[in-house]
């Protein structure tokens, strides 16, 4: 499945079609924050919406553009499940979300509040995904939706690229879990801001997607252990691996200590508290050789666990 599967015209359509509550999010340069990182640094804040993450863009576009009318089955660490529940409830569609046993309890509670039926029990995210696939197999009344494999979801996330492109940044640094976000952003930027490098960031404890990008084929790891639960992918998504090959310039890893340092930096300098997955771009800019004097990253979500603030 080539990068052309992600269609520029659908990303453009999504930029007008998806719920305005998810679009045109704040893009800020803060002088003091930029000085700390020793370069002009843009923060795109995707946390000021009812589900506190960027995932609503793809979920909303999927259901609006396809007119899907079956029950939705998916796996999630929490944010994608919230997005599907939020988008589906306005259409009267049931949502079944399978989550790992160690999922953030606040994310579980929020999914249930949004009307989803949440099944807890997989040993990790990928085991929960296996359970979701088994639940939907052979049924006509529901459809399994895999984040990272469905073009509409990546195209909805690609609307972030539409909003970033006019800034013509040297580099955009993007958190990578299943790969939908960076694939969608990269698809748009490589067409409309061609000088902008697109660099992905994985957690060092969950490097499957980084290894997959480097080898050009899906790679699995024995485990995925990181505080960044939204990036804890053990089994790479083949579709996203193929998409990423066409639009990603480099991939880097950051460890949990660097992620926590980035969280503290955001808290202390800007008063922002986000979830660990959202801070990996800042961790990379602060600790890796990211090219460019004018860079940006996406703060992808703020559904942090109750004990996060005690760890900072």
- Reading the block at residue 38, the tokens are 């020793």
Tell me the pLDDT band of 114, cut-offs 50, 70 and 90.
very high
**pLDDT tens-digit profile of 178-193?**
999 999 999 999 999 9
Mean pLDDT, the chain, rounded, equals 96
Summarize pLDDT for 131-169 with one digit per residue, the tens: 999 999 999 999 999 999 999 999 999 999 999 999 999
> Are the CB atoms for 247 and 198 separated by under 8 Å?
yes
48-78 per-position pLDDT tens digit: 999 999 999 999 999 999 999 999 999 999 9
Q: Compute CA distances 8 → 21, 170, 217, 231, 239, whole Å.
A: 22, 21, 24, 26, 17
Domains detected in the chain:
3-53+151-311 (3.40.50.1100), 56-144 (3.40.50.1100)
* Each residue's pLDDT tens digit, 248-261: 999 999 999 999 99
End-to-end CA separation in angstroms for the chain: 41
**Span 93-118, average pLDDT:** 96
Q: What share of the chain is helix, strand, coil (3-state, %, to 5)?
A: 45, 20, 35
CB atoms near residue 221 (< 10 Å): 18
Q: In what order do the strands lie in the sheet with 117-122?
A: 117-122, 95-100, 71-75, 142-144
Kindly indicate the confidence band of residue 218, based on its pLDDT and cuts at 50, 70 and 90.
very high
pLDDT of residue 13: 98
Output the six-digit token pair for 280. 């990996």
In percent, the amount of the chain with pLDDT more than 90 equals 96
């Amino acid at each position: 499945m080539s990068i052309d599967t992600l269609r520029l015209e659908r990303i453009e359509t999504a930029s007008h079609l998806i719920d305005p509550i998810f679009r045109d999010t704040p893009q800020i340069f803060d002088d003091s924050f930029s000085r700390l990182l020793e370069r002009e640094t843009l923060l795109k804040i995707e946390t000021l919406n009812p589900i506190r993450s960027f995932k609503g863009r793809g979920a909303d576009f999927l259901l609006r553009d396809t007119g899907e009318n079956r029950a939705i089955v998916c796996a999630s660490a929490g944010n994608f499940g919230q997005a599907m529940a939020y988008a589906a409830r306005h259409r009267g569609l049931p949502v079944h979300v399978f989550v790992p046993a160690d999922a953030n309890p606040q994310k579980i509670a929020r999914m249930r509040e949004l009307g989803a039926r949440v099944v807890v029990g997989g040993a990790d995210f990928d085991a929960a995904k296996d359970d979701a696939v088994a639940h939907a197999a052979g049924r006509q009344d529901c459809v399994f939706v895999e984040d990272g494999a469905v073009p509409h979801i990546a195209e909805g996330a690609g609307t972030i690229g539409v909003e970033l492109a006019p800034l013509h940044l040297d580099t955009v640094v993007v958190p990578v879990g299943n790969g939908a976000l960076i694939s969608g952003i990269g698809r748009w930027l490589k067409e409309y801001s061609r000088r902008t490098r697109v660099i992905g960031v994985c957690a060092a404890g969950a490097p499957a997607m980084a290894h997959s990008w480097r080898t050009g084929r899906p790679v699995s790891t024995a485990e995925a252990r990181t505080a960044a639960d939204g990036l804890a992918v053990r089994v790479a998504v083949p579709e996203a691996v193929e998409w990423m090959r066409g639009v990603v310039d480099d991939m880097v890893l950051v460890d949990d200590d660097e992620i926590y340092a980035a969280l503290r930096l955001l808290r202390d300098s800007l008063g922002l508290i986000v979830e660990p997955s959202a801070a990996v771009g800042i961790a990379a800019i602060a600790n890796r050789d990211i090219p460019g004097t004018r860079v940006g990253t996406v703060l992808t979500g703020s559904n942090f666990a109750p004990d996060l603030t005690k760890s900072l």
